Structure formats: C-alpha cells, structure tokens
Structure 1
Amino acid sequence: MKLNFRIVIFALAIVFGVVFSMPSLLQTEGGKKVNLGLDLQGGLHMLLGVKTEEATTSRLKSIAASIKFFADKNDILIDELKFNDTAVSFLLLDTDDTKLIKEHLGVIDGLNVVYNAENISMTFTPEEIQKTKEEAISQAIETIRNRLDQFGLTEPVVAKQGEEKILVQLAGIKTAAEEQRARELISRAAKLELMAVDEDRAARVSVMDAAEAAKYNDVILPDAKNEAHKYLVKEIPILDGGMLTDAHVGFDQNNRPVINFTLNAEGAAIFGDFTGKNVGKRLAIVLDGKVYSAPNINERIGGGSGQISGDYTVMQAKDLAIALRSGALLAPVYMMEKRSVGPSLGADSIEASMIALIGGFVLVIIFMVVYYKAAGLIANVALIANLFIILAVMSLFGATLTLPGMAGIVLTVGMAVDANVIISERIRELIYQGKSIHKAIEEGYSNAMRAILDANITTLIAAVVLYAYGTGAIKGFAITISIGILASMLTAILGTHGIYEMLEKKIQKSKNNNFWFGIKG
C-alpha cells in the first residue's frame, strides 16, 4: 500500500468533517453549530398584514414638513399648510415666489401639482400610489428582517406572501416573554417625530377636542408615561425619523436608561434652524404618537443630536434603539395569524427524520456490502465521510437545518452512493472484458465521470435556482443538497479513487475479484 495525493486529500476532508461536526453532534458549549429551524426546535409562526393605504398619508405628511422647512429657509410666506389622506395644500401669500415653489416640488416623483392663483394643492398619481404601497411592503420586510437580525435570532424567515402579507418565522422562541418581546419589536412603528408645541393654545388642551385642534392645524397627543396628560402640538412635524442615522442606549444623571439619537446633515440643519428661532418655546419628542418629553429650548441646538427619556427598562431601551436604527415602518403592520410551534413537535420531527435518515443509511450500507463486497465497503466509507463533511460545512457557516433540509441530506445519501454504484459497475464490466485491475480502475473512473458530472451538475443548477427563488424551508433544502453534491464529488470520486490506488497491488495480488468487487466466477 502506498499513499497518493487523492488519499491525502480524502483523509484531510474526513478530519475536517469530524472536527467541525463534533460541536453539533455533541452539543458542546463551544464551537460553531448547526442551527435548528422552526420545524425542528419550535418557535413562532406569524402572518402579518400591511396597512399600505397609510403609506401614502405618511409620505404626504413628510412632503408637508419639507414644504414648511423650505418656505422658512427661503423666507417664503405661506399659510394654511395642511394635509389629509390624499392631498397637501397651502396658500402662497406672495405669488412672486411661485417659481421657487415649483422648483422645489418639481423634484418630487409622481406628484400632481395644481396651481390656482395663490392656492396650491398636490396629490400623487395613481401609479405613484401603487408604487408607494409596493415600497411599503418591501420596506416592511427589510425593516423587520433588520430588527430581528439585531435582536439576535438565528436566520429568521421574513418573506412576502401574496400581495400584501408578510410571513415571519422565528425559531427558538420558547417562552411567552420572548414571544411578546419579538412581537413588539416586529410590530412597533418606531416613528420618531420632533413637533412644535402650540404655546398659544397649550393651556386649553385639557378642554379642547380633536376637531377644534384641527382648526388650528394642531393635534392632541398623550404623554407616554401618563396618557391623561395631553400635549397640543403642530400637526406637521419639524422633522421625522427618516433623518435619523443612529440610536443607542445611554444613561442619564440618575442612571436611568435613555435613547441617544443622531440626525443626518439635513436633519441637523432643520433642527438647528428651528431651535435657533424658537428659544423659550417647547419641542415635543414624539414616538409612535406619544410624547416622551417636551423640553424648553434654551438655546440653538447644533450637532443634530437629541435624547429620548422614558420609564423603561434597559432591555426595553435596547429594543427601542434597535427599532429606531432599523428605520420606521412606512406603513403599520398588524397580526393576521399567529401559531406557536412547540419544542415537542420539533422533537417528533427530528425523531421521524432521524429514523428515516438512519434507516435509509443502514439499508444502503447493507446493500453495498452484500452486492459489491469490499468495493461496497469502500463506498460506505465515502458515504460516512460525506455526511460528516455536510454537517461540518453547515456548522462552520452557522446554517439552519430544517425538516426539508434533513430530507435533502437523505436524498444526498442516495445520490452519493449512486456515483459509487456507477463507478463499481464500470469497473466490473471492464474486469469481465479481461482488463487488468489497474486498467479497469482507471478506465472505470474515466468512463463513469461523464455520467456522474452530468447528473450532479444538473442537480446543482436546480438547487441554485431553488435557493435563488425559494423562501425559508426551500432554501434549507437547496443548501443541504448543494453541499451534499459538492461533498459527494470529493468523497465518491476523489476519495474512493485514492483508496483503490492505495490498495491496487493488494487487489492484483489476491486475484479474488469476488471479494473485492462482488464478481462471481
């Protein structure tokens, strides 16, 4: 027996497979492991709806805020600036400024602007409304995914389902507290707004209703700590969370958690201009329609930073910072369906899958040894190495194993042994034809290679397509199949070839083709 480069590579692959798969097999504290999907370890399955019609209102509100800032910055006199679900309108007191207003509004996509003397109104085109709704869903998916990634969950599934629904699957959610925390993080709008307090009428807020407030272009908002306490603020915000660049947890002088936030250059400029012109007045910091604080403006505040204080725990503050960093939802989401998958169901799935995997594996091993004798044993070595390599690669990349993924491993077992069957049959045919052992092995691998490559490459292409266009469990199936195919190419072709090369002289010397290849007579 002599070593060759094939057997050395095969040995290194086996060592790699065993070493990196052990943390997953033994469930050790250290080392990278394969993560179990929702169907294997239990968790939370949710179907969310998106209130896409509110996305248009949100955009119109932002446009109204930008018009106000632009008018103030350029000393343009406007009045009765207001918005509703479908339109924004205002009065331009000096028509000489129409050109400037047209230039400002002209850069906004999908906006229909009607100029009627001093009256200016604008609405979105039907195409822009539809586009906004679609963007709201895409943005909700991306935002929820970012929040859950920062939350620390392993490979959460967040995918569009139908036209206006979002599927969310969270593996590893086991307690009611974890479920509640995840649900709040997902559904929280995290809409930050800085709004001017209407100082002229603030004293009357307790006797004022929403209709009267609307006459002055104001809204009444509750205090976050005490909803009985109300604030009267200007309906159009000074700026919103779209200008936020960072949010993180800090602590005030009393060691209570606060959220420190930072604005982008545009937000910092607006913030600085407003505070400079409104010294002595109050600025309300509003989050999801509640006033967290309304401090007095003592001087111009530059730098574009601020602070949100409230009565919350460190964990709540962290989750709020995550929600702010990941961005506000353009349109609110709501729960349509919720289903908890218990760990016991996951355990049953694992048990059933393991029975299928082990049962199929044992039957394949027995068949190979009975039919191909020593050649079957060599194929079985490659098969076992193949499983270790699959598990090691998945562990190394922290991949998530789902029930379809386990089905993929079972299928990979069949595909891996199929390559060895083709090779063994080619070798047997050549020995029947009177070829020497050396010629039979070399030509057997050469002849089998095309069929094996064709089958594996076409399956690999199908797996890549499944991964690219599939979601959730389909991706898991595609990943395991892909890793299995690549591993089988290494073990079934390179590895077994190396073993035959190492044993070639021994096989020739024994002249017992029945023992080595199952050839009778």
Structure 2
Amino acid sequence: MKRIVAFITVVVVLTALMGWTTPGLLKSMRLGLDLKGGFEILYEASPLEAGAKVTKESLVKTAQSLEKRANKLGTSEPEVTTEGTNRIRVKLAGVTDEAEVRKMMKEPAELTFRSKDGTEKNPDEYNKIEMIGTDFAENGAALQFDNMNKPQVSIKVKSKDKFAEITKRLLGQPLAIYMNDELISAPVVQAVLTDGTASISVGGSMDEAKELRDVINLGALPLKLHEKYSQSLGATLGQQSLKSTIEAGLIGSVFILVFMVGMYRAPGLIASFALILHTWLLIAVFAWANFTLTLPGIAAIILGIGMAVDANIITNERIREELRSGKSVMSSVKAGGKHSLRTVLDSNITTIIVAVVMYIYGTGSVKGFALVLIVEIVLSIATNVYFVRFLLNLLLKAGKLMKPKYFGVKESEIRAL
C-alpha cells in the first residue's frame, strides 16, 4: 500500500508542479535571432597603428573578442563572422537598446595609453601612443582598494620590459588613458614598474573605478572598427511560422505518446509521463541557464526526444522478449532492464562524445546545438531510464501489473520454459 501511495504522490506532485510552472517558464524563454529577430552590424577593420596591416589572424582575434563582448552584454549565441580581408559582421538576438549595444560593441575598440610628445606645436596634448588595447593581459584590470579604502584599478600588461621602459621614461609625468579620442583619466607615473602591474587612482569614485576597469578589459581589440551599416532584423521564421512549428511539434508528440501507450500499455503510459517530465525539465534548464532557443536548438531538442523514445522502446521490447520466453513479470522486467541498459547507455554516451567535440571546436549555432544535445541526453538518461524504472518497480513491488497483458504480450505468444 505504501508503494502505491508513493507512486500516486510522485505522479500527482510532479504533474501539479509542471502545470503550475510551465506558463511562466515558456514566457521567460529567450528566442534566437532566427526566431525572434535582432540587430546586425557590419564593421570594417583597420590597423590601430599607422603603417600596419590587417592580417587574417588579427581579424579572427578581433571577431573572437567581439563575440566575448557580446556574451558579456547578455547576448546568447551571437553570430560573429569575418568577411573578406577586413570586415566583421555581428548579429545579436533579442536586442532591446540598439544604441547602447552599438556603443558598447565599438567604444572600447580604440583604447590607448598616451603621453605628451613634448613638441612646441602641441606641448599640452597627449598625442604620443605608448600602449594600445592588445598590450594588456586579458581581463587584466581589476577593482581594488588602497590603504584609505578608496577604490582604484589595478592593471596587468603582457610585456613587463615594455611597461618598465615606459614608466621609467615618464616618471613623474602623466600617462593618459583615452577611449575613442576621449580622455578618461590621466594618472601620474609615481615609480618605475618592473613587474608588469600598476594601480590607477580615480579620486575615490566607485562608479569611475568600475567604468575604467570595464573599459580596459573590453578594450583589447587588435584592430580599429568602423561601422559600415547596421539594421534591425526580423525573424526568418516569422511569428506565424513559429506558431506552425510549435503546433506540428505538439501533434507529433501526441502521436508518439499514443503509440507508446497503445504498443506497451502500462510501461508505455509510464514512459509517456517520463517524456513529458523530460520536456518540462529541458524548458526549466533553458529558463534557469538563460539559454537562447534557436533553430539548431530546436533540431537538438527533436533529436533528443527521438533518442528518449528509442531508449524506452529498446527497454520495453527486451522486457517483452523475456515475457514471451516464459519468465515471470518481475524476472522479465529485471532481465530486460539489465540487458537494455548497456545498449541505451552506449548509444547516449557516444552521442555525448560527438556533441562535446562539436562544442569544443564549433562556433555560434554549432555550439548551441551541441550544448542543447548534451543537456537533452543527460536529462533523457535521468528520466527515461532511471525514473521510468523507479515508477515501474514501485508498482511491481506493490503487486500490480503482474500479468503479461499489462505489457502488451498475449498469452498465446508466451512459450513454455
């Protein structure tokens, strides 16, 4: 009796939880560029230093830096691609403030540390470039506090020798920080720095310290970017097409659930419940991790559901084979589950390995597809293998489903041992 109560409690509680939370989870789902639309910017790259050239390596590094910057802005799965010899195209999904995104994507591109050149023509202007964004270590700026508990920014550069030479030459003189030809700060060099690190005072302002830290960390772009054009993008599927896609998915899911119940009876009903739980958990993970749903993501979801159905079919067919051989229901479930587990795990683990390789070496939507597929498989193993067995064993140990007909096996199909 206790097992029956436990079975009913688990099913009722999970059903209520799914019904209560699903509308909110669906509303919080973020749609990708291909489903919701977004913002596109085309940049033309040029060298930061006069006489230099735009190389393929510097163009790729700049594109990678822009992708990292887009992720820091909260944009998931940005599409950043290089075109020709000096262009980079950026596509951002779900952009609400285009002006702010445009400003933050480009503004740190022209970060420079300058000194006065000492000429009679411009004696008070900081027009000699001493360091550029690429001279700083990645995420080399951090917020810290001095002895008076005032905020300041610590920086770290890549070349200690270069920094030591600059600070020795400019000892007692200001080293100005510029962003897009706008003076941000002009700290005075107080000592010769040989360890590649320094601290910049900002006059006690926490907001200025945070802004300067972010400017330096986001400013390590190898090239200068000039915006050629920008535009808002509509969803390639459109709202009507997206609605049709969802309807088709729901209709297909209903057919799958009906097939599972009609083919495998009680175990099929339990497997159908596990599939619904699997889908709900996936939606919850998307909402919790703030993933963006894109077309490749939908493809991964469909593939994952198909693999989950396969896992249930393999297990139930093995159980039916054991029943047809004349074994008892309890023995058949135990033997069928044992024999099918290795097959199911092997197929899922090999798929995870492929997905991990895709995630490591892929970019953009390929990474998104691989990540969703990995999450799908992990959830599938948890729900459609172990959770299904947990519910089925609760009923069997309670003395229920002890006849082969509950598994879709007729008496005439059972052979004598």
Residue number in structure 2 paired with 1:429: 321
Q: Distance in 1 between matches of 2:339 and 2:30?
A: 40
Pairwise CA distance, 1:456: 1.7
Change (3 A) 1:238 1:26: closer
**Paired amino acid for 2:103:** E
Residue number in structure 2 paired with 1:200: 120
Change (3 A) 1:233 1:432: closer
Is 1:172 matched up with 2:94?
yes
Residue number in structure 2 paired with 1:517: 408
**Paired amino acid for 1:26:** G
Structure-to-structure mapping, 1:461-480, within 5 angstroms:
461-480=353-372
Residue number in structure 1 paired with 2:292: 400
Residue number in structure 1 paired with 2:106: 187
Residue number in structure 2 paired with 1:446: 338
Residue number in structure 2 paired with 1:506: 400
Pairwise CA distance, 1:247: 8.4
Pairwise CA distance, 1:172: 1.8
Specify every segment of 5 or more residues in structure 1 that has no aligned partner in the other structure, as ranges.
59-83, 87-128, 204-230, 249-258, 309-313
Is 1:41 matched up with 2:36?
yes
Is 1:340 matched up with 2:235?
no
Cα deviation digits, residues 336-394 of structure 1 (max 9, x gap) = 67453336956445423322321211110111222222222121011112112222333
Is 1:365 matched up with 2:257?
yes
Change (3 A) 1:293 1:190: closer
| SS at 2:335 equivalent | helix
Q: Distance in 2 between matches of 1:289 and 1:420?
A: 60
Change (3 A) 1:478 1:422: same
Contact 2:34/2:236, CA 8 A, preserved across alignment: no
Cα deviation digits, residues 238-268 of structure 1 (max 9, x gap) = 55554695488xxxxxxxxxx9866559659
Pairwise CA distance, 1:448: 2.0
Q: Distance in 2 between matches of 1:349 and 1:285?
A: 54
Pairwise CA distance, 1:437: 1.0
Is 1:85 matched up with 2:51?
yes
TM-score by length of 2: 0.74
Q: Which one of the candidate residues 275, 285, 294 is aligned to 1:383?
A: 275
Q: Distance in 2 between matches of 1:40 and 1:359?
A: 20
Residue number in structure 2 paired with 1:274: 170
**Mean alpha-carbon deviation: is it higher for 333-342 or for 369-378?**
333-342
Q: CA RMSD in A?
A: 4.3
Is 1:154 matched up with 2:75?
yes
Structure-to-structure mapping, 1:403-414, within 5 angstroms:
403-414=295-306
Pairwise CA distance, 1:321: 6.2
Change (3 A) 1:454 1:140: same
**Paired amino acid for 2:401:** I
**Paired amino acid for 1:153:** G
**Paired amino acid for 2:170:** F
Q: Distance in 1 between matches of 2:289 and 2:103?
A: 29
Residue number in structure 1 paired with 2:55: 133
Q: Distance in 1 between matches of 2:175 and 2:350?
A: 61
Q: Distance in 2 between matches of 1:500 and 1:147?
A: 49
| SS at 1:340 equivalent | strand
Q: Distance in 2 between matches of 1:293 and 1:356?
A: 55
Is 1:327 matched up with 2:219?
yes
Larger Rg over CA atoms: 1
Specify every segment of 5 or more residues in structure 2 that has no aligned partner in the other structure, as ranges.
144-150, 192-197, 413-417
Is 1:485 matched up with 2:377?
yes
| SS at 2:307 equivalent | helix
Change (3 A) 1:240 1:47: closer
Q: Distance in 2 between matches of 1:333 and 1:24?
A: 43
Q: How many residues align?
A: 383
